[in-house]
């Protein structure tokens, strides 16, 4: 009987121990589950953070890529602009040099023409001042035969041995006082000299040698000089 009671007591104790062990195991599992759940939660947070950082990094990379393309485009535009500017400056300099050369040529031609006009034209009041034998064609603007005389004079000028022929225009302010209604050729003072229109004056050694004042006389003398 005592053994039976002992067995019951032992069984009870064993059951109680098993129960306690089960409770301990359950608590331990619960604790482990909580820890695991916490770890999982932390891992999810970490994964979310990592994903967020990855997305942000990708955005930055895309942004840098876009910025790099923009920088490349700006560089290309700047290079093209610089090249065009260089060509423009070269063209400008070349054009400026050409204009300068043309202007210089025009100035030289103007100077030559001015020199020629200065040399060919003479003032009646000083026409006796030159040395040697030469002629002065005193021109009246209304004379329509002046072009004919000029053609003959060009022919004469081609001959280096021919006497020089100067021109004096009666419309010039220095010559207009020598035009009068009555001619005066044989004068002691050149200021008293007068013509009534176009006249060809031959001068020899500072003196008036002869005056031709009609069309036939002027043309005849020029033709002789041209032969």
Interior angle at CA 133, CA 127 and CA 139, nearest 5: 45
Cα radius of gyration (the chain): 62
C-alpha span between 143 and 149 (Å, rounded): 10
Tens digit of pLDDT for each residue in 102-140? 666 666 665 554 444 344 899 999 999 999 999 999 999
For residue 130 the two structure tokens come to: 């030159």
DSSP 99-132: HHHHHHHHHHHHHHHHHHHHHHB--GGGTTSS-S
Tens digit of pLDDT for each residue in 22-43? 676 666 666 666 656 666 666 6
Nearest one of 217, 94, 81, 202 to 145, comparing CA atoms: 217
For residue 78 the two structure tokens come to: 């700047």
* pLDDT, mean of residues 10-18: 65
Residue 56 confidence (pLDDT): 74
pLDDT beyond 50 at 158: yes
- Locate tokens 């009041």: which residue? 125
DSSP 156-215: HHTSTTSPEEEEEETTSTTTGGGB-SS-B-S-SSGGG-BBSS-EEEEEETTEEEEEE-SH
> The whole model's pTM is what?
0.49
């Amino acid at each position: 009987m005592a053994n039976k009671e002992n067995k019951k007591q032992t069984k009870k104790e064993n059951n109680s121990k098993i129960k306690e062990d089960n409770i301990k195991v359950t608590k331990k599992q619960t604790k482990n589950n909580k820890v695991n759940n916490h770890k999982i939660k932390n891992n999810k947070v970490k994964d979310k953070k990592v994903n967020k950082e990855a997305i942000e990094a990708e955005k930055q990379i895309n942004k840098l890529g876009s910025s790099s393309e923009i920088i490349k485009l700006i560089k290309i535009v700047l290079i093209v602009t610089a090249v065009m500017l260089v060509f423009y400056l070269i063209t400008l300099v070349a054009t400026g040099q050409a204009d300068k050369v043309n202007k210089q040529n025009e100035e030289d031609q103007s100077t030559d023409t001015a020199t020629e006009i200065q040399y060919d034209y003479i003032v009646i009041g000083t026409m006796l001042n030159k040395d040697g034998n030469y002629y002065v064609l005193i021109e009246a603007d209304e004379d329509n035969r002046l072009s004919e005389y000029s053609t003959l004079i060009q022919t004469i000028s081609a001959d280096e041995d021919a006497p020089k022929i100067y021109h004096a225009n009666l419309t010039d302010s220095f010559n207009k006082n020598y035009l009068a209604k009555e001619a005066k050729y044989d004068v002691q003072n050149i200021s008293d000299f007068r013509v009534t229109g176009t006249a060809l004056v031959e001068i020899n050694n500072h003196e008036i040698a002869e005056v031709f004042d009609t069309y036939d006389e002027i043309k005849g003398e020029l033709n002789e000089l041209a032969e």
